[in-house]
Copies of this chain bind each other. A is one copy, B any other.
Amino acid sequence: MRSAELIELWRGGQRESSHCGDAVICDTKGVIEAWGRPEQIVFPRSSCKMIQALPLIESGAADAAGLTDRQLALACASHSGARIHVDAVDQWLRGLGMGESDLRCGCHMPRDADENRRLTCGDESPCQLHNNCSGKHAGFLTLNRHLGGGTEYVDPDHPVQQAVKAAFEEVTAETSPGYGIDGCSAPNWSCSLAGLGRAMAGFADPPDDTRGRAMRRLVDAMRAHPEMVAGEGRACTILMRAMGGRVAAKTGAEAVFVAILPDQGLGVALKVTDGATRAAEAAITALLVHLGVLPENDPAVGRFLTDPIRNWRGMVTGDMRTAPGFPA
């Protein structure tokens, strides 16, 4: 099997660029629709943060720390480092009697334009709270306090990461071929795209047990707080808002995107082979329209897929479109 053509960019009546990838729609039993290679091994990257957050709830650590849904949404987030995100993580860590220096995610400039400008113009450096994964790491620290592990909670052998690995292999129903180190220094376990899709279907249609209740709680938290999962202007936030909180959507680096559709009991997972964010956003948009959960005429569909592409003087220069056969 080969990857499938997913997204094309046209200019002057000619196809200028195109993006291949793999995509699956799953229920809890497995793949029900696929493009490309469902068996393709992928690093889910940040798209699996809701999986990484399962031990936080299942261990009782979240309740012991009195975490709110807003904090659980942040544990599943790749946030923009806006003040609402940075302040919320700061407050969370203080609530644990900890601080920024306990994080192991590293520092990077925030995507959020206002906060970026504040740092740039104040000649200030970003701190670890600005890291898009700082909410996930606050979750790791919360779990770690509960488990009584050592300070280096991102080590692959650390009890926190071993708990994450166990949850990951259980919900994907696969033995992971291995891990890579993520941008935030945590191990990221790989799986097949079908395994990731099945895991998302599990979140969409969870069993009535400890795991299932944890899944439901995380999905509800993400859907209730789309602004915490990414940020203003970001695809996850915009798409979740456009679907009125019915669907949870999460992106990951290198063009992974997943969606959880509780009303349908379906999970979606896709990876664009070349890692292009623009194509992952366009492809998940197309699949959500295909599944009938995102109205075709919603401005979000225009923004990520169908609006004409304009240049610096506002002239239409081309368009983005789905490739023939994707999704229908």
Contact = CB atoms under 8 A, between A and B. Distances in A.
A20 B17 contact: no
Nearest to A106: B312
A254 B105 contact: no
A318 B180 contact: yes
B182 A317 contact: yes
A290 interface: no
Contacts of A43: 11-12, 14, 16
Contacts of A105: 312-313
Chain B CB within 10 Å, residue with most, of A11, A43, A255, A316:
A11
A317 B181 contact: yes
Interface residues of A, number: 47
A279 B274 CA distance: 9
Contacts of A184: 311-312
Given A9-B254, A184-B311, A273 B17 contact: yes
A212 interface: no
A223 interface: no
A66 interface: no
Nearest to A42: B16
Interface string A243-276: 0000000000011000000000000000001111
A300 to B, nearest CB: 23
A83 interface: no
Interface in A1-42: 9, 11-14, 16-20, 41-42
B180 A317 contact: yes
Contacts of A315: 181, 185
Nearest to A317: B181
A238 B318 CA distance: 31
B107 A14 contact: no
A233 interface: no
Interface in A170-212: 177-185, 188, 190
Q: Which of A41, A188, A311, A316: most chain B CB closer than 10 A?
A: A311
A145 interface: no
Contact of A12 (B178, B311, B312): B178
A131 interface: yes
Q: Which 5 A-B residue pairings sit nearest by Cβ, starting from the closest?
A: A106-B312, A12-B180, A11-B180, A121-B121, A17-B275
Given A11-B43, A13-B180, 14 more contacts: A11-B180, A11-B181, A14-B180, A16-B43, A16-B180, A19-B274, A105-B312, A117-B121, A120-B121, A180-B317, A180-B318, A181-B316, A185-B313, A274-B279
Interface of A: 9, 11-14, 16-20, 41-43, 104-108, 117, 120-121, 131, 177-185, 188, 190, 254-255, 273-276, 279, 311-313, 315-318
